[in-house]
């Protein structure tokens, strides 16, 4: 068996964008496996075939496929002529030495001109396997599911299926900028948007040299981890400490977090526009911490005209934590650091900020100059996966 058959999320890919989505998915699979000896990635009728070269390792290739959004499921497969005898021979040859199990055959016809219906194909091949191996047929939850797919020019067979990452191919939904702290929530928020086909530009605000570089190290690790999905990430590191120092000089302690957040949005908006991102993403959750009351979120959001996406807004903390653990970001996020928002802030911040308070506080600040200085001081670091791969998904 020298192929992998990839099925995509049919429903997500319906409509006029379908050919574009499929070609993007094919390109993404190609790039993800560029360094693994894959001979070809071909779009066939309704599925994609990954043709393994002699040096390709199935386990390595499937590990990459697990990180490609838009894939519903995949399986190792063999290819034959469109001839049931030849197909049956190949299946039996591959099952040689396999311990006896209950089985069933599931057939799909990509090409409806084949003279037998799918149930007829299933019955014919099922009988052939039964007569040769004497394994019991079990239609409901068999131990081995033999899948066959008959297309116009070739037939495929495979045993079992593995679930893919789901979602939509990276890049088809445009670019967004995600405000990424070193915390638990924002990496999960970034992942959620990636899974919907967005390329994510992480924007991190740090207060170095007022605090350690720990938070930057954490977001670097998170950026590297998320790059396994989107293949290229341009992390933006924004110096925020000097701006905070200025805020501290004129803004009363309880209002500081709200003002910090408004500056973050203004700066992120500039960075987003520069990188052609169309929306901002945060890891905000209603009521999770003092700064995330509905009142504060409203007053904070007013600082930008760009849409703010909050994919986690209605989730419970334990649900977010479970997803962070599954993603592998959790262990990075819980490493202690000094978050920039804890700098110069009191234990009990304002929970019901009002517009007039914000306007009054910001009237004393050279807002535009502060934003400009932070944008100008921003450093970009590029992460690529696979390291030896050619171009990236959002080219």
> Where do contacts with Mg ion occur on this chain (CB under 5 A)?
181, 183
How many C-beta neighbours within 10 Å does residue 382 have?
A: 11
227 touches ligand ATP (CB under 6 A): no
Which residue number, 269 or 284, has a Cβ lying nearer to ligand ATP? 284
CB 268 within 8 A of CB 190: no
The nearest distance, CB 178 to ligand ATP, in angstroms, is 7
Q: Which of 225, 258, 340, 392 binds ligand ATP (CB under 6 A)?
A: 340
122 touches ligand ATP (CB under 6 A): no
How many C-beta neighbours within 10 Å does residue 391 have?
A: 13
**From 88-96, 105-113, 184-192, 352-360, span contacting ligand ATP (CB under 6 A):** 184-192
Comparing CA positions, the residue from 157, 12, 162, 137 lying closest to residue 81 is: 157
The nearest distance, CB 284 to ligand ATP, in angstroms, is 5
What's the full length of the chain, in residues? 395
324 touches ligand ATP (CB under 6 A): no
Helix then strand then coil, % of the chain, to nearest 5: 40, 20, 40
CB 45 within 8 A of CB 150: no
Give the C-alpha separation, 286 to 325, whole Å: 21
Residue 291 contact, options Mg ion, ligand ATP, none, Cβ 5-8 Å cut-off depending on partner type: ligand ATP
- What are the residues whose beta carbons fall under 8 Å from the beta carbon of 235, sequence distance 6 or more? 201, 202, 204, 219, 220, 223, 380, 381, 382, 383
Q: Hey, which residues between 251 and 290 contact ligand ATP (CB under 6 A)?
A: 264, 282-284, 288-289
Both structure tokens of 111 = 């090409």
**From 14-22, 73-81, 125-133, 175-183, span contacting ligand ATP (CB under 6 A):** 175-183
205 touches ligand ATP (CB under 6 A): yes
Residue nearest to ligand ATP (CB): 183
Q: Hey, which residues between 23 and 82 contact ligand ATP (CB under 6 A)?
A: none
Angle (deg, nearest 10), helices 84-95 and 118-133: 40
Comparing CA positions, the residue from 96, 98, 111, 100 lying closest to residue 148 is: 111
Gyration radius of the chain's alpha carbons: 26
Q: Which of 75, 80, 170, 181 binds ligand ATP (CB under 6 A)?
A: 181
Name the maximum alpha-carbon separation found in the chain.
87
**From 22-30, 75-83, 159-167, 338-346, span contacting ligand ATP (CB under 6 A):** 338-346
Residue 288 contact, options Mg ion, ligand ATP, none, Cβ 5-8 Å cut-off depending on partner type: ligand ATP
DSSP H helical ranges for 171-307: 185-195, 214-230, 241-250, 256-274, 294-301
Total residues binding ligand ATP (CB under 6 A) = 21
Both structure tokens of 211 = 């605090």
Q: Which residues pair with 232 in a beta bridge?
A: 384
The nearest distance, CB 338 to Mg ion, in angstroms, is 11
Comparing CA positions, the residue from 249, 209, 217 lying closest to residue 377 is: 209
The nearest distance, CB 131 to ligand ATP, in angstroms, is 60
184 touches ligand ATP (CB under 6 A): yes
Which residue number, 70 or 183, has a Cβ lying nearer to ligand ATP? 183
Angle (deg, nearest 10), helices 185-195 and 214-230: 20
**From 93-101, 122-130, 181-189, 227-235, span contacting ligand ATP (CB under 6 A):** 181-189
The nearest distance, CB 117 to ligand ATP, in angstroms, is 53
Residue 186 contact, options Mg ion, ligand ATP, none, Cβ 5-8 Å cut-off depending on partner type: ligand ATP
Place of tokens 């039996």: 92
Residue nearest to Mg ion (CB): 183
341 touches ligand ATP (CB under 6 A): yes
The nearest distance, CB 359 to ligand ATP, in angstroms, is 21
Residues that bind ligand ATP (CB under 6 A): 179-181, 183-186, 203-205, 264, 282-284, 288-289, 291-292, 339-341
């Amino acid at each position: 068996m020298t192929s992998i058959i990839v099925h995509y999320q049919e429903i997500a890919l319906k409509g006029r964008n379908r050919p574009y989505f499929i070609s993007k998915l094919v390109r993404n699979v190609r790039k993800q496996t560029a360094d693994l000896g894959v001979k070809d990635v071909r779009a066939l009728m309704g599925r994609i075939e990954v043709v393994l070269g002699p040096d390709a390792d199935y386990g390595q290739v499937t590990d990459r496929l697990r990180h490609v959004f838009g894939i519903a499921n995949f399986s190792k497969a063999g290819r034959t002529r469109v001839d049931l005898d030849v197909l049956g021979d190949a299946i039996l040859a591959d099952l040689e030495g396999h311990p006896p199990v209950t089985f069933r055959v599931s057939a799909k016809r990509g090409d409806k001109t084949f003279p037998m219906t799918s149930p007829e194909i299933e019955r014919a091949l099922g009988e052939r396997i039964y007569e040769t191996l004497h394994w019991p047929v079990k239609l409901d939850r068999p131990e081995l599911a033999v899948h066959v797919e008959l297309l116009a020019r070739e037939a495929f067979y495979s045993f079992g299926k593995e679930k893919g990452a789901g979602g939509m191919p990276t890049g088809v939904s445009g670019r967004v900028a995600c405000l990424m702290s070193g915390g638990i929530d924002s990496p999960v928020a970034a992942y959620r948007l990636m899974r919907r086909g967005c390329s994510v530009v992480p924007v991190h605000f740090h207060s170095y040299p007022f605090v350690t570089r720990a938070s930057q190290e954490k977001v670097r690790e998170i950026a590297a981890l998320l790059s396994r999905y989107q293949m290229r990430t341009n992390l933006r590191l924004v110096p925020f400490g000097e701006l905070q120092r200025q805020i501290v000089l004129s803004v009363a302690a309880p209002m500081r977090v709200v003002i910090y957040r408004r500056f973050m949005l203004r700066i992120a908006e500039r960075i987003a526009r520069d990188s052609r991102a169309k929306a901002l993403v945060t890891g905000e959750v209603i009521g999770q911490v003092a700064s995330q009351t509905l009142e504060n979120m409203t007053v904070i959001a007013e600082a930008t005209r760009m849409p703010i996406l909050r994919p986690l807004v209605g989730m419970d903390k334990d649900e977010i934590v479970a997803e962070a653990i599954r993603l592998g970001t959790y262990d990075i996020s819980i490493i202690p650091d000094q978050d920039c928002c804890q700098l110069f802030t009191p234990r009990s911040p304002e929970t019901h900020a009002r517009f007039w308070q914000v306007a009054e506080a910001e009237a004393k600040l050279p807002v535009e100059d502060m934003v400009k200085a932070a944008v100008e001081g921003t450093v970009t670091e590029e992460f690529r996966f696979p390291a030896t791969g050619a171009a990236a998904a959002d080219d």
